[in-house]
Amino acid sequence: MAEDRAAAPTLQEMIADHDRQDEGYEDPLAFETCERRSQHAPQEGIESPLTSQCGLVEAHNPTLLGLREISSLASWTVSTHKPTNGTHALLAPTPQTYWQSDGPQPHLLTVHFFKLVKIARLRVYLDFTLDESYTPTKMEFWAGWSSSYGLVQFGEWAGAEPRGWQEIPLDGCGVGGKAEIRCMVLQVRVLENHQNGKDTHIRGMQVFSMDERPNRRGLAMREDNGAVNGYAGADPESDDEERDARRENLIVEPDSDGELELR
């Protein structure tokens, strides 16, 4: 099967990723985040609609308070895809592009994080108005330490004629009944489409972690001082110990037995 891979960025690349601000352009359909900017860098002398969205993650949405988007901390693969409609199209910060599969169901979208993360919120962007029979009606969500050692299903989604962000419930999935998933691998399995469609379209996906740093419990914001979230500028004056402490708020280590516990 064809496979499209978006290489995982190194820590140095993520820390060195510049914050770019281009004024005067606003795409009304653009997603609220800009964490994937490095994959869509504008050509020299050409103004990019993507960079105008940097800074806040849906500042007007109170449900995203205290969260930060971590999709850029992972490499993304798909089971199959049409030419030009692979992971780069899926990760573009606009619903005008999409991943389109090109093979038998189920269609798989797999997210490989470079270390163990805590996922507090997950949502997928679908649009029946634009995609019709390509729009999923049933999806399953799986997670684990490694795709080589098997994954555990933690949720599913089913719906008719969706348009916009579809929230994936995480209630009761975490240790002690918390609404969170601890994993290194996250996988979406598209099982059925509208009108018995064969291939599928997914126009966006966002993965959030709790922003547990001091003084960061307001909006889900980008890092201002070069921490590793994939769209921050480096702060040359930041202390190494301070940066390490910030990373620890996002990255957690597996339990001693190494088992994935979803409930």
Has residue 255 been placed in a domain? Answer: no
Instruction: Domain of residue 199: give its range.
Output: 4-250
Q: How far, in Å, CA of 254 to CA of 238, rounded?
A: 28
Partner residues linked to 6 by β-bridges: 76
Has residue 103 been placed in a domain? Answer: yes
- Rounded to two decimals, the pTM is 0.65
Has residue 193 been placed in a domain? Answer: yes
How many separate domains does the chain show? 1
Has residue 256 been placed in a domain? Answer: no
Q: How far, in Å, CA of 158 to CA of 232, rounded?
A: 35
pLDDT in tens, 91-138: 998 999 999 999 999 999 999 999 999 999 999 999 999 999 999 999
Q: How many beta carbons lie within 10 A of that of residue 66, not counting itself? A: 15
Has residue 262 been placed in a domain? Answer: no
- Distance set, CA 128 to CA 29, 31, 132, 160, 255 (Å): 16, 18, 5, 8, 41
pLDDT in tens, 218-256: 444 443 333 333 333 334 344 455 445 444 544 444 454
CATH number at residue 127: 2.60.120.260
In three-state secondary structure terms, 65 is coil
